[in-house]
Structure 1
Amino acid sequence: MQQTFTPTPEEVARFHELGYLGPFKVYEEEEMRRLWRRERLRLMDRSGAVYDEGDAQAGNTNIANYDRHLDSTFLADHICRPEIVDRVTAVLGPNVLCWRSEFFPKYPGDEGTDWHQADTFAFASGKPQIVWPESEKDFGGTITVWTAFTEAAEDTGCLQFIPGTQRTMYYDESKEMHYQPDKINQQDKEGVTRGFYGYDYRQLQKDPDWSPPQERAVSMVMRPGEAVMFWSTMMHASKPHSAPDKEMRLGFAGRYVPTSVAVYPDTDEVDEYGGRVSLSEYGTVLVAGTDTYDHNRRVTRTTKGHEFPKR
């Protein structure tokens, strides 16, 4: 009999109220440390990666960190783990796709990440990357499950959330945001230096005089192997890595939507963070249920032949 990790109705209600659930355990701490020692070496082999880091169009940008679950056996299994999928389906319903994964490294001395929200993920590329159907227009964004592969502490750059902000968008993703890789990052009203991977997210504010209610922020301190699930439309950020004697903080995020959501509609490439990659080898992954739609390309195996598990 399969073990289930479905949250209680009270936990689901709390998720809808706050915008996040967790932290919760996906791996034992020592197991996570052992796995990451092994996998970080394996991931240096990009021979099966769907985006070529050395491509002249892609360059050495954040895009190279996208979707390694499409070639890595470990990450393919990770995005499908029942500890994650059972919680996601409790909110999104039985039929769910993983449409993206990303690494989020933060090294000693790195600044914090700007407060931001993501609905269609059009803020960098200029094109909506996910579009919910009209029949579900009250929803938007994606559910992100962010797993700490290393310690995420107050001084190593843990995530920060402003609970309850997922129902109101304070940013307009259709506004133009300029990529400035050499941009000098600025301090927020609490004196924290923040940036957004070469962008100034404040350029998207609907009201330029508004500022995030940071006094309501909560910190997501996590041990290796723990994860947190949250709506991408909830305001979130991260603290700086201010501990020179500690290791890199590394988070790995899987992003999930119902099968009814259109992923990369009418798009053959992703153009953001100063780079461009082709979607010719990309596909969504069905992690639970069935997909009765035909608007998303889908893959059932990694580029190295490993079959994705499914709930």
Structure 2
Amino acid sequence: MTATGAGRAFALSPEELESFRTNGFFGPFKVYEPEEMTGAWRRERLGLMDRSMAVYGDEAAASGNTNISNYDRHLDSGFLADHICQERIVDRVTSVLGPDVLCWRTEFFPKYPGDEGTDWHQADTFANASGTPQILWPDEFKEFGGTITVWTAFTEATVDNGCLQFIPGSHEQMNYDETKKMHYDPDRINRQDKQGTRRGFFGYDYRELQKDPDFEPDESRAVSMVMRPGEAIMFWSTLMHASHPHGGAGPMRLGFASRYVPTSVRVYPDTEAIEEYGGTVSLERYGTVLVSGRDTHGHNRLTDRTTRGHVFPVR
């Protein structure tokens, strides 16, 4: 896979690209000014309560599961549609993935006062919750896997309110077997790791996927991603990542993750529904979004506009 960012205003420099390849992440970097992000979210959050045009509609909400209902709101929100195509994001992503790129999923990640920290985890095919691969790279790129995630802070993200944590360089080796299937229990009781941090994974125990049952992440190497509203961090999903718990003081912490792959990757192969987190939603109205370049492969269903008619600005 040949990465390129030539001619793009926010492309990674050769030194930044080398750092990304070594550490598995880049940033934080500014996408919006803090007051711009705060104002935009204040305007948008009420509109997002209207799910009438969401691709999963009330189907996800009716399942009682908040994780799936947080998926893919870029497919009905004009602001989020523009966000996933933001040049400050796409230029950096194409520096790694090459010029022809799809956004295949977005997710909101709220963390409320008192919420536990998220388990250390990695994702390659995203079969981790369902047991069914959600993305598959072509055979000629066997050395690659996972997705580029760009996690944007919509609010302040601090150690105290649950910011992300990374273990640099851990993206080169998968410590989890995604062909196993985790057991979902929405009432699962918080556990404490050896450092005394309360951790969980949205009703799952990610340790069930460990290749080595005695594996322990080296948290002595962990770094915390403190971010202002409007800042973003780009990382491989195969990087060991987690989050701190929300200590209970102050408002909700909110992040928005957009996930990118080359157009050669198959998205939801031979799959008609998403089944995970105790819920099921149909992919009938779903489509991937071309954010840069061209799609000459034709593997995936594409959509060029939101359900409300807002056109995605391809870079």
Per the normalisation by structure 1, the TM-score is: 0.97
Q: Aligned partner of 1:257: which letter?
A: V
Please show how residues 75-224 of structure 1 align to structure 2 within 5 Å: 75-224=80-229
What SS class does the counterpart of residue 119 from structure 2 fall into?
strand
Q: Structure 1: 5+ residue runs without aligned partners?
A: none
Distance 1:56 1:113 in 2: 22
Runs of 4+ in 1 over 4 A off after TM superposition: 54-57
RMSD: 1.2
SS in 2 for 1:86: helix
Q: Distance in 2 between matches of 1:7 and 1:55?
A: 37
Offset at residue 3 of structure 1 (A): 7.1
- Distance verdict in 2 for CA 1:42–1:57, change over 3 Å: closer
What is aligned with 1:254? 258
Partner of 1:297: 301
SS at match of 2:211: coil
The 2-side partners of 1:57 and 1:75 are apart by 23
CA–CA separation in structure 2 for the residues paired with 1:158 and 1:56: 26
**Equivalent residues of 2:25, 2:236 under 8 A apart:** yes
* Deviation (angstroms), 1:56: 8.1
The SS at the match of 2:54 is: coil
Q: Identity of paired residues, percent? A: 71
Amino acid at match of 1:122: A
1:282-310 deviation digits (Å, cap 9, x = unpaired): 00000000000111000000000000001
Give the equivalent residue in structure 2 for 1:269: 273
Partner of 2:284: 280
Query: Aligned with 1:115: secondary structure?
Result: coil
**Residues 129-177 of structure 1, C-alpha deviations (whole Å, 9 max, x = no match):** 0000000111000000000000000101000000000010000011121
> Do 1:50 and 1:71's aligned partners in 2 also have CA atoms closer than 8 Å?
yes
> 2 CA distance for matches of 1:288 and 1:149?
24
Asked whether the 8 Å contact 2:159–2:244 carries over to 1, the reply is: yes
More moved, 22-31 vs 39-48: 39-48
**What CA deviation, in whole Å up to 9, does each residue of 1:49-91 have, x standing for no partner?**
0012356874333101000000000000000000000000000
Task: Give yes or no for contact 1:98–1:286 (8 Å, CA) kept in 2.
Answer: yes
Q: How far off is 1:185 after superposition?
A: 1.6
CA distance in 1, matches of 2:61, 2:255: 27
Q: What count of residue pairs does the alignment treat as equivalent?
A: 309
